[in-house]
Amino acid sequence: MKYKIHTKFTIVLAMLFLLSSCKNLVENKPELPLSKAAEFLKNNRTSNKEKLQLYRQEGIKDAIKIEDFLPQNFLSDGSEDYTEIIQKVVNENPIVIFPDFSLLINTDGLKAKSNSTWFFQENTLLKYKSNDKKSYYVVLVSDVENFSIYNLKVEGDRYRRIDPSNMEGEWGMGLWIMGSKNINIYYPEIQKCWGDGIYIGSSGSKKVNDSINIIEATINDNRRNGISIITGKNIFINKAFISNTKGTPPQAGIDIEPNNNDEIIENIKLKDIYTGNNLGSGIKVVTYFLYGDLKKNVLIDIENHIDENSYYGFQAVGIAGKKKQNKIQGLITIENATWMNNTEPYSFVNIENTFPLIKLSDINIYEGNKFKPTPFKEVLMNIRLKFSDRLIDLKD
């Protein structure tokens, strides 16, 4: 078979996990802004005027004002806990608008209900109360259908722990979505959580999420991952900006990593994604725990991904030692990606029998302050040395 070595090819890939010995190389890098950050935000953010037009279309004029239910002499500096009042209002009303100031949220968090919509204003902020919990959510969407939230803003307790020396736990989530369907998250800004900015996993009764849309997310300075996708189908993440993830592994911008063989990863679409300065990977895909008795068909499409200064631009992990029938099939497509100033732009390992095919096209790798592109022909040749039996020739 004759192989093509310019822009398009298909390959099976995988990678080693982040080596602890390399940790300091990335920890010492400066915080954002990075070279492409401001440009990305300028070109991929909806104006407040456009947002207001959308809010009107989506029924904001019919929204119940949570502020009307607060005590007469309420405080607007985020120092008083009104979580119980807020929860009661959202339980009893299908469309609500949050007050235009900071709100202290206690460790009960806020729970969404089906067939409802939440609107946040420009200065609305859910500020999670200082605590020592290993696991929490600021907002929970569990076994819910038909829920939308606009302009969600969350600040976790990462730098306000009761005992700053206690580093136990990694599951403090800004937005936790579990076993839900038809969920729309518009313009979320989530930062400083003990675990992930957004976590998409299974609930006790449902092993899959369906039709989850996350639009123009800004996720920064979370401790474990920016966004974790554990199980789901028809998940669309568009124009996300994810940066400065560090604290406890995996420390990825987006981590697609099922926990067991019962979960699924189907029709996951990541489009126009910026990841930067993450201690682990910009985007990471792991099938290690997905392997089992049930055959799996993994489908992921990544288009227009930019990563700067993360340890890896893209990372993929299979499982070693499984030489029998490949029970993890499917296709991961990565198109028009730019990986810049990474310690390693990509890493693949253990994918021969436990990872779907990967099709790469138009990959640009830059090194050094002058951003001179590394010819992708060299990248392909390096991969061919290790995975020559896995390449599939593509016709234009």
- According to the model, what pLDDT value does residue 362 have? 84
- According to the model, what pLDDT value does residue 329 have? 87
Beta bridge partners of 12: 357
- According to the model, what pLDDT value does residue 14 have? 32
Range of weakest confidence among 6-10, 67-71, 97-101, 256-260: 6-10
Question: Tell me: the pLDDT tens digits for 176-207?
Answer: 999 999 999 999 999 999 999 999 999 988 88
DSSP-derived secondary structure for 130-161: P---SEEEEEEEES-EEEEEES-EEE-STT--
| Distance in angstroms (rounded) separating the CA atoms of residues 210 and 205 | 14
| Distance in angstroms (rounded) separating the CA atoms of residues 351 and 332 | 13
Q: Are 280 and 250 in contact (CB under 8 A)?
A: yes
Question: Tell me: the pLDDT tens digits for 204-226?
Answer: 888 899 999 999 999 999 999 99
Dihedral over Cα of 163, 168, 174, 178: its sign: negative
Range of weakest confidence among 47-56, 308-317, 328-337, 353-362: 353-362
What does the block give as tokens for 379?
Answer: 């990248």
- According to the model, what pLDDT value does residue 292 have? 87
| Distance in angstroms (rounded) separating the CA atoms of residues 2 and 393 | 7
Q: What average pLDDT does range 7-28 have in this prediction?
A: 35
Which helix (H) or strand (E) segment holds residue 337: the answer is strand 328-340
Confidence of residue 119 (pLDDT cuts 50, 70, 90): very high
239 or 7, higher pLDDT: 239
Question: Tell me: the pLDDT tens digits for 61-115?
Answer: 899 999 999 999 999 999 999 999 999 999 999 999 999 999 999 999 999 999 9
- According to the model, what pLDDT value does residue 227 have? 98
pLDDT for 159 beyond 50: yes
Domains in the chain: boundaries:
8-45+216-390
381 or 228, higher pLDDT: 228
- According to the model, what pLDDT value does residue 57 have? 83
pLDDT for 2 beyond 50: no
Amino acid (1-letter code) at residue 360? L
Beta bridge partners of 332: 300, 358
pLDDT for 122 beyond 90: yes
Confidence of residue 23 (pLDDT cuts 50, 70, 90): very low
Confidence of residue 392 (pLDDT cuts 50, 70, 90): very low
pLDDT for 327 beyond 90: no
- According to the model, what pLDDT value does residue 190 have? 98
Among 24-28, 157-161, 343-347, 381-385, the range of highest mean pLDDT? 157-161
Q: What average pLDDT does range 144-169 have in this prediction?
A: 93
- According to the model, what pLDDT value does residue 365 have? 86
Confidence of residue 21 (pLDDT cuts 50, 70, 90): very low
Helix (H, G, I), strand (E, B) or coil at 207: coil
DSSP-derived secondary structure for 219-279: EES-SSEEEEE-SEEEEEEES-EEE---SSTT-EEEEE--SSTT--EEEEEEEEEEEES-S
Confidence of residue 172 (pLDDT cuts 50, 70, 90): very high
